Amino acid sequence: MYDPKHISLYVPCYNANTTIERCIDSLLTQNLQVGSLFVVNDGSTQPLPTLPVQVIEHPENLGLASARNTALKHCQTPLIASVDSDVFVEKDWLQILFEKMNSSELSGVAGRLDEFYTEDLGDLWRARHMAQHWGNEAQTNPRFLYGANTLMKAEALRKVGGFDTLCRTNNEDRTMCEALYDLGEKLAYEPQAQCWHLRHDSAFTILSSYWGWHHAKGIKEGDYNSLKGVISRIERVNFGIATYRHGLDLLENNQDFACLDQLIPFVFAYKDLKLYATRAGSQPLSISELVKRCGLDIDLVTPFLPDFVETTNRSVEYEKAFMKAFESFKIQTNFNSEKMNNWLLNKSELTGCNS
């Protein structure tokens, strides 16, 4: 049987100065008194507020997986718990996970994370399509444990070599769980251990955030090492995900969500090409011509493309593959460019976006 003092609890942090105090406050008021509580500051460019806990500093931004590995290196207890810096937890969160760990032969357990902000279209879309929980029922061996809140056996994490540092910002939780399952370890999901996500997204930022979930696996599989690899993502990932999400939202008759879904291929293409160019040390390929050929007003689409800079660099091969996939997508999702432009214009006017 474990004792609460057998737990090291850490918060990986990067530029979370607006949320980390609420996070830490919720951890300091837990029902259980842990062995240690500390923050791993992963090279934040924004100064952190003064915190009443130990802060371990990375000299530069190394990524979420590296921050987790630093915490594991400093952990001197059998159990290690983690809460993301934009999350706050209910008072009994750790107690529920701890009791679950003590009552079962588990290597890890996680609670339920719900969205705290639910007023904006972006936040509502994230709650529907980027949920970080497995529903209302407890589960043994779910697909994986979302890393935003976990309690794990430190030795189990060390046994698989820690977290994969190729996963700088996402997917480190999934790959870790897959490695643990390969060794026959057991994991559990306990929805009674409640947490709240303090992230806020608008309609203009949510799809870029969503791309962040999906590009990490592409990095691991080498998709961004060549233009051919990036092209392979067009139909398989970008249009495939958009078609699936659009189908779900049409079933629920959510037209705003459905319009956002139809923008996924364009935002993902922009982000894919930008990352590929960064890794190749070249100028990003332009997607403006693609947007226009699909009947959309580029000035209305650019607010959805973070840090958009127009370039003249184009790839006939990429554009040909994109348009081929778009023709099928247009039929499957009943894509109507006039309707989309009106929707985009409406969103820009409502938010005062000067596009």
- Residue 333: half-sphere exposure toward Cβ, Cα within 13 Å: 32
Residue 183 has pLDDT above 50, yes or no: yes
**Mean pLDDT along residues 234-251:** 98
* 22 class by beta-carbon count within 10 Å (0-12 exposed, 13-18 middle, 19+ buried): middle
Close Cβ partners of 285 (under 8 Å, ≥ 6 residues apart): 273, 276, 277, 311, 313, 314, 315, 318
Taking 50 as the threshold, does the pLDDT of residue 354 lie above it?
no
pLDDT in the model for residue 169 = 87
Helices (H) and strands (E) in the chain, counts: 14, 9
Q: What is the pLDDT of residues 31-47, one digit of tens each?
A: 999 999 999 999 999 99
Looking at residue 46, its pLDDT comes to 94
What is the pLDDT, as a whole number, of residue 351? 56
pLDDT band at residue 66, thresholds of 50, 70 and 90? very high
- Average pLDDT of every residue of the chain: 96
pLDDT digits (tens, 9 = 90+) for 199-210: 999 999 999 999
Pairing of strands 79-83, 7-13: parallel
Tokens representing 299? Answer: 């000035």
Once rounded to an integer, what is the mean pLDDT over residues 154-178? 96
Kindly report the number of other CB atoms within 10 A of residue 143's CB atom.
13
Q: What is the pLDDT of residue 352?
A: 47
In the chain, domain spans: 4-197, 206-351
d(C-alpha 273, C-alpha 265), whole Å = 12
Distance CA 340, CA 338 (A): 5
Query: Has this prediction a pTM greater than 0.85?
Result: yes
Q: What percent of the chain has pLDDT over 70?
A: 98
Residue 347 is predicted with a pLDDT of 87
% helix / strand / coil in the chain, to the nearest 5? 50, 15, 35
pLDDT 10s digits, 260-318: 999 999 999 999 999 999 999 999 999 999 999 999 999 999 999 999 999 999 999 99
Share of the chain above pLDDT 90, in %: 95
Report the chain's C-alpha Rg in angstroms.
21
Q: Is the pLDDT of residue 355 over 60?
A: no
85-103, pLDDT tens digit by residue? 999 999 999 999 999 999 9
Q: Quick one: pLDDT at residue 348?
A: 81
Q: For the domain 4-197, what is the CATH code? A: 3.90.550.10
